[in-house]
Structure 1
Amino acid sequence: MPDPSTPGPEARLNNPLGVIRIDPDHPAPQTIHRAAALIQNQGVVVFPTQCLYGLAADARDSSAIQKIFHIKHRPETNPLLILIHSPKDLEELVTHIPDAAQRLMQAFWPGGLTLIFEAAPRVSDLLTAGTGKIGVRIPSHPVARALVKAAGRPITGTSANRSGAPGCSRIKNLPQDLIRAADLVLDAGPLRGGTGSTILDVTCDPPRIIRQGRIPFDSIRQVLAS
């Protein structure tokens, strides 16, 4: 049976902008590997997260990161969060993992909690915007998880939108010039929408909430108090 996430010739003919449908629960490996190969070669991929579509690029490659800023019209004074596949990936990205962060990671990763750490020296200043801090999350969406695993490196996890504009939960709502600027668009259909991840700074004690999102702060407080 043909894989529904891989378009046939007719779909490709009517779809010149590199938009591929992908099963949100069981993404086709060949589609994921195609997207991962683009990321490994300075490409930019639109991909689904739990609530909104995001822009993925190699978080180790300054040229790829600059493409994200250009596509989003985002000032380089605004940092970018990154997605990883495993907590072990933090070792190359951060200088220290506080005990509070360990507990929060156990409770909420993979999921909608971004933790801000002190960035390791090798992390690009483009990601940190010169703050010396980096936001990191393990995504829970099957496509996002498969993509970061196949890429074999951290990827950017910023929303697929113009800077300052609302995030998009449907591909049809993305600006056409953003779609054209991306090397590939993975269309998993309508997403949940709503708020993005909760962002918590764990470089201070007690940790400081930066943005209330999918994880209620009361739930975070309970974990920190345990």
Structure 2
Amino acid sequence: MATSGDLEKAAGVLRAGGLVAFPTETVYGLGANAEDPAAVARVFQAKGRPSDHPLIVHIGGPEQLGDWVEDVPATARLLAGRFWPGALTLVLRRGTRVPREATGGLETVAVRVPDHPVALALLSAFGGGVAAPSANRFGSVSPTTADHVRAELGDAVDFVLDGGPCEVGVESTIVDVTGDVPSVLRPGGVTREDLEAVLGRPLAVHSTSRVRVPGQHPSHYAPRARVVLVEPEQVVAEARLAQESGHRVGVLLPSAFAGVPVRAHAVVEVPRSMDAYARELYGSLRELDRRGCDLVVASLPEEEGLGLAIANRLRRAAGPRRSG
């Protein structure tokens, strides 16, 4: 686990224009000084991330929001006051402090306050904003432990802060508050139901939007194995057919079928609790890769609560892969 000496070293790396991987409650981030365009460019290079895909600027507290955005509308103040620190990212008009390199060239910026003691301690020690996507290669499974980061990015990261396993396990919810009507651009660790309870109105959830944000690429959060989605009652039969066709099949077995014999190379039983499923999802996909599966059969959970975010990640994991 990270020590005070580790935190000071990490803050020094950020000041020098280096990259630091750090834990949040959602996933591990790959951070750079948000005000240093050259350092931000290194993040894109390390991940192999297209330069027009914006990053999230992590700040130390809600009171700092006005330092990074052009204005803070009432809806943003309400959501920040209720959910920060936490797994909620707000999209607002970019302030002059934020270089366009961090926003993918957009005039909007995504901002959040992470709910993790190590992340908050790093932000305090550094004294500025940290621009960070997830600490993995672009499009692949997000890391939820420091070992995941080291295994995937290696020497591309100047320093890794170990804060233990991430508690939430899927990325933050992104809400666009630039217009009159807020909307969810990416479901995540804060549920739509909780947001609606605070706002007192229903929220639309968009798979694409006029505002580019992290996690909207058709193929994202994907293991090396190809992911096939079927109805829950079809998972066992689909796995058997694929195994008989010569695939090394991995299965995310729905909790309703726990204990049912499955003909497959590897089986991971999905937790009944959506909190536990979200926390374990990326680790399970990595485990199936580690065990040599070339195809993963899974089904979508009910799309309520955290199930909405899990379904979003699985759909993108099953999306069309980039060629080359």
Into which bin does the TM-score normalised by the smaller protein fall? 0.7 to 0.9
Q: 1:105 and 2:108 equivalent?
A: no
Q: How does 1:4-83 map to 2 (within 5 A)?
A: 21-22=1-2, 28-83=3-58
1:9 paired residue number: none
Q: How does 1:47-196 map to 2 (within 5 A)?
A: 47-174=22-149, 176=151, 178-192=153-167, 194-196=169-171
Would you say the 8 A contact 1:45–1:183 is kept in 2?
A: yes
2:321 paired residue number: none
Amino acid at match of 2:174: I
Offset at 1:101?
0.7
For residues 121-162 of structure 1, what are the alpha-carbon distances to aligned partners after superposition, in whole Å with 9 as ceiling and x for unaligned? 342111111220000000110000000111000001310001
Would you say the 8 A contact 1:202–1:208 is kept in 2?
A: yes
Amino acid at match of 1:152: G
Would you say the 8 A contact 1:84–1:154 is kept in 2?
A: yes
Q: 1:200 and 2:194 equivalent?
A: no
Amino acid at match of 1:99: A
Q: CA RMSD for the aligned pairs?
A: 1.6
Offset at 1:175?
5.8
Aligned partners of 2:152 and 2:22: how far apart in 1? 16
Structure 1 unaligned residues grouped into runs of 5+: 1-20, 23-27
User: Which deviates the most, 168-177 or 138-147?
Assistant: 168-177
Offset at 1:180?
0.7
SS state of the match for residue 189, structure 1? coil
Aligned partners of 1:32 and 1:41: how far apart in 2? 14
Amino acid at match of 2:15: Q
Amino acid at match of 1:212: P
Amino acid at match of 1:74: R
Structure 2 unaligned residues grouped into runs of 5+: 202-324
Aligned partners of 1:215 and 1:193: how far apart in 2? 10
Aligned partners of 2:9 and 2:190: how far apart in 1? 32
SS state of the match for residue 33, structure 2? coil
Aligned partners of 1:155 and 1:185: how far apart in 2? 14
Aligned partners of 2:168 and 2:66: how far apart in 1? 32
Aligned partners of 1:41 and 1:91: how far apart in 2? 25
Q: 1:217 and 2:179 equivalent?
A: no
Offset at 1:102?
0.6
Aligned partners of 1:178 and 1:136: how far apart in 2? 24
Would you say the 8 A contact 2:168–2:189 is kept in 1?
A: no
Aligned partners of 2:149 and 2:27: how far apart in 1? 11
Aligned partners of 1:144 and 1:84: how far apart in 2? 9
SS state of the match for residue 77, structure 2? helix
Would you say the 8 A contact 1:59–1:155 is kept in 2?
A: yes
Amino acid at match of 2:21: V
Higher-Rg member (1/2): 2
Offset at 1:179?
2.3
Aligned partners of 1:221 and 1:207: how far apart in 2? 10
Aligned partners of 1:39 and 1:47: how far apart in 2? 12
Aligned partners of 2:189 and 2:11: how far apart in 1? 27
User: Which deviates the most, 49-58 or 191-200?
Assistant: 191-200
Structure possessing the higher relative contact order (Cα contacts under 8 Å, 6 or more residues apart): 1
Offset at 1:177?
6.1
Q: How many residues align?
A: 201
